[in-house]
Amino acid sequence: MKFETPAGANPIDAMKVIGQAVDRVDGKLKTTGQAPYAYEHKDVPGKPAYGYVIGAGIAKGRVASMNTAEAKRMPGVLAVVSAENAQPLGKGQMNTAKLLGGPEVDHYHQALAVVVAESFEQARSAANAVRIEYERGSGRFDLAKAKPGAQPLTGNDADTHTGDFEGAFAAAPVQLDQTYTTPDQNHAMMEPFATIAWWEGDALSVWTSNQMIAWNKKELAATFKMPPEKVHVRSPYVGGGFGGKLFLRADAVMAALGAKACGRPVKIALPRPFMVNNATHRPATIQRVRIGTTKEGRITAIGHESWSGDLPGGGPEVATQQTRLLYAGANRLTAMRLAELDLPEANAMRAPGEAPGMMVLEIAIDETAEKLGMDPVEFRVLNDTQVDPEHPERPFSQRNFVRCLQEGAARFGWSRRKAKPGQVREGRWLIGMGVASAFRNNINMTSAARVRLAGDGVVTVETDMTDIGTGSYTIIAQTAAEMMGLPVEKVRVKLGDSSFPASAGSGGQWGANSSTSGVYAACVKLREAVAQRLGMDPATAEFIDGEVRAGNRSASLAEAAKSGEIVAEEAMQWGDLAKKFQQSTFGAHFVEAAVDSYTGETRVRRMLAVCAAGRILNPKTARSQVIGAMTMGVGGALMEELAVDRRFGFFVNHDLAGYEVPVHADIPHQEVIFLDEADDKVSPMKAKGVGELGLCGVGAAVANAVYNATGVRVRDYPITLDKYLAKLPAIA
């Protein structure tokens, strides 16, 4: 099925199940510990052995020698596999560095070997007995130093120019020109990278923790130079990913190598330091924003430039993309530069691009409003646009940005905010309010599903879509239930298996809308088959309360399948509506912060997010997505930063003791409002993603609240005491 024209009325519009706050259908399994995660599966052929990965102790250079003799003699050891004795490996398209290094070392903690033993403790002990000598090379570990040599990009990441930015900016009566920085950050998901792998002849099977099943089946096949049909990937439950588990990682490759060497299943879970230095991270950025306006506050020139770094062959943090679309202005410039660094691989982390980009842009917008003497909400409203500013002939499919700002301001009590900072005190606390826009593009991905109707009237959905804690099981069950006229209890959902039809997978805020659209397409086909089996006209048949009705006839769904199961499979593909209409999601974040005037301690007191993201498929799971994103945004604003050892090229705070993330005590009252929308240009579900929108802009809203409380502007994230304590207002 191809989505080529705006969606008309369809069965989803009934919203008897879709749009309702249905409890997670997998909730009981997770809360009782019955949902098995990658490391816990017992459905393997034989007793698993344990693997322990040895990571490079340098960031750049080569392995001069590796002595494994002592390790091989230790109790329980079954194999030691390294580049010296492993089969020749390929490299998937989505990996920047090789997942098995040696003799060349590309980054710190790059996997160099795996020790396999009967127990985890034996494997770890033997790994510590492997002696590696290195020839250390010269590495590049400092983005600021590498910035002058950073290179422009091509293709979709090339510079953009509209009008005469430089001329318009120079002529603007009100100007802002500021530089900001965001740090390297880590996904810090709870479940580690983990895999159980085994071979049956020349076929490879893995239980793994991964967000994108089809991608990783293909990448494993490329790595082991084997046909994709010989690879079976399963990941039914994932304990968090945030983009860190989009791609094939070393746990899966090293487990497969270990399993081949010892002839039995091998299980590997990467230790927390490997999650930081061996896997991917959000790269640091240096961003310059220039905004020129009229005296009345209309933007006449807006420019956003960003510098980031990655390993050779990697890509940039696309921090300027929201600036191309969020605000009006005839004269525009965006530019990105990429520096080569020898730090661990930089790649996608929740809301790549917009998350760090909005952290910067939305401070700059507030700073411009202050120069103008305008209220920050009014300034944003004044510069709204209903068309793509770079291509005015191209309207937005739906844009309720102004409603988000205005309804949020009313709900939050924005009118009580004092424009002059540092004016509100409660005892020793300085109180401030901040606002920031939220923006994230909508992306659709081809997604397929298989649906089965059994003789008991139960519908089973099969798709390789994953649930990374987002509620995929539930919204997919709701979609099938709505389409087939059933309660959710009569739908079974099977996910995360590469033997199922390939879905969109979980990432980029595309998962919910795309995967449910694939289920919609399969259910359309199933409805036709059911109606035909019952001798009814598929065009007029209605599916209501477990029955099929057409004209004066009715029959139960179970009756249709009494002579045998009915199976339908279909994919949702996408036409060019996304080219005709800019598809984006919008929102507004409001934050109240308190800063201790004596110690500088910052406390976020309350938060509000207003989101316009098409039809909300399940407001309960969607709210969970947004409040989780808001929490991540507080971390990004106030504490999250990977500390780079610029001498030796690694992230020093590579565990959850040193890499700080928000805990319950850090998070105040959170409120989420979803605007009532249905965007017919994006899919038959009329939905868009919301999980990453909830993060975009939060950091800036916190930063703007801290400024409003104290009068101290911090432009380098995170906003830590050392950056503002000495500048706080005098106590007396």
State the catalytic residues.
692
Q: Where are the alpha helices (DSSP H) in 534-618?
A: 557-560, 577-580
Return d(Cα 324, Cα 337) in angstroms, integer.
16
Give the torsion through C-alpha atoms of 522, 525, 527, 530, to 10 deg: -120
Over its C-alpha atoms, the chain yields an Rg (Å, rounded) of 27
Residues 6+ apart with CB under 8 A from 688: 442, 509, 513, 583, 585, 613, 614, 679, 682
Return d(Cα 31, Cα 477) in angstroms, integer.
19
Angle at 285 between CA 273 and CA 160, to 5 degrees: 140
Token readout for 710 is 């104290």
Q: Where are the alpha helices (DSSP H) in 534-638?
A: 557-560, 577-580, 619-638
DSSP assignments along 420-469, one per residue: STT-EEETTEEEEEEEEEEEEE-----EEEEEEE-TTS-EEEE-----SS
Return d(Cα 341, Cα 642) in angstroms, integer.
15
Alpha carbon distances (Å) from 471 to 33, 402, 466, 474, 655:
17, 29, 9, 5, 28
Token readout for 484 is 């087939």
Work out the end-to-end distance of the chain between its first and last CA atoms, rounded to an integer number of angstroms.
70
Return d(Cα 216, Cα 591) in angstroms, integer.
39
Contact by Cβ (8 Å): 678, 696: no
Contact by Cβ (8 Å): 583, 442: yes
Select from 183, 193, 207 the least CA-distant residue to 247.
193
Select from 369, 327, 330 the least CA-distant residue to 167.
330
Taken in order 414, 611, 702, 380, the sign of the CA dihedral is: negative
Query: Residue 81 corresponds to which amino acid?
Result: V
Q: Where do we find the tokens 């010269």?
A: 138
Burial of 149 (0-12, 13-18, 19+ CB in 10 A): exposed
What is residue 302's three-state secondary structure? Answer: strand
